[in-house]
Amino acid sequence: MEKSIFTRIMEKEIPARVEYEDDQVIVIHDISPKAPVHLLIIPRKPIPTLMDVTDEDLPLIGHIHQVAQKLAQKLELKGFRLVNNCGKEGGQEVFHIHYHFLAGFQE
């Protein structure tokens, strides 16, 4: 199986602007932002789609939500949107789950 662009970023084969990382996730700036703040929260474990998440992965999914909270606090945001596109029909382009963290919209 070919490595996803996200795996290649985590392995430092492709440069990215990293906002945060730990042993479970990496957070990078989206190269085509759709909001003033547009980050991608990417688990290090390569899970193709949200439909492929198992019970074993649930702590990881919870951790992703905690990372979103940390990002909001760090960036002093009043609110944000967390989006996951699941499957081709759901608009997913890279088949390694990731969450779009979007913020900075007008009040």
Residues 6 or more apart from 72 whose CB is under 8 A from it?
A: 79, 80, 103
Q: Mind listing the domains of the chain with CATH numbers?
A: 5-103 (3.30.428.10)
* pTM of this structure: 0.94
**Which residues of the chain register pLDDT less than 50?**
none
Task: Count Cβ atoms below 10 Å from residue 97 Cβ, excluding itself.
Answer: 26
Structure confidence at residue 1 (pLDDT):
60
Task: Answer yes or no: 98 catalytic.
Answer: yes
Catalytic residue among 65, 96, 98, 100: 98
Predicted pLDDT of residue 106? 65
pLDDT for the residue numbered 18: 97
Nearest Cα to Cα of residue 22 among 8, 10, 13, 12: 10
- Cα–Cα distance measured from residue 106 to residue 98, given in angstroms and rounded to the nearest whole number: 25
